[in-house]
Structure 1
Amino acid sequence: MPRDYIENLPPELILLLAPSLPIGSLNAFISTCRRTHEILQPELESRITPKR
């Protein structure tokens, strides 16, 4: 998937992808560009940080 295609997706669609991705794939997806990182980093952190 070309990088510019991902950058043009609405953030709502990017957020819908996150729950279906395993942690490793989510981390890889976040690494594709700054925009996905900004949108999905909180989701990744919530998965890997233990709840108190």
Structure 2
Amino acid sequence: MNCVKIGKKRVTLFVNSEIYDRYKQYCEKNGLILSKRFEIFMENELKKNQKEVS
């Protein structure tokens, strides 16, 4: 079986620190990975707005 490696990219974001801290705590309490949540958000936005991206 061939395994396809998906590249990872390090990004820097500037967000409201209070919101970030609260969301980070939420993710930790619920066993979620913060970066994966952001990735899922981006995927969903692209799906919703597919015509604009193409």
- What is the TM-score when the length of structure 2 is the normalising length? 0.34
Between Structure 1 and Structure 2, the one with more helix by share is: 1
Which structure has more relative contact order (CA 8 Å, sep 6+)? It is 1
TM-score calculated relative to the size of structure 1: 0.35
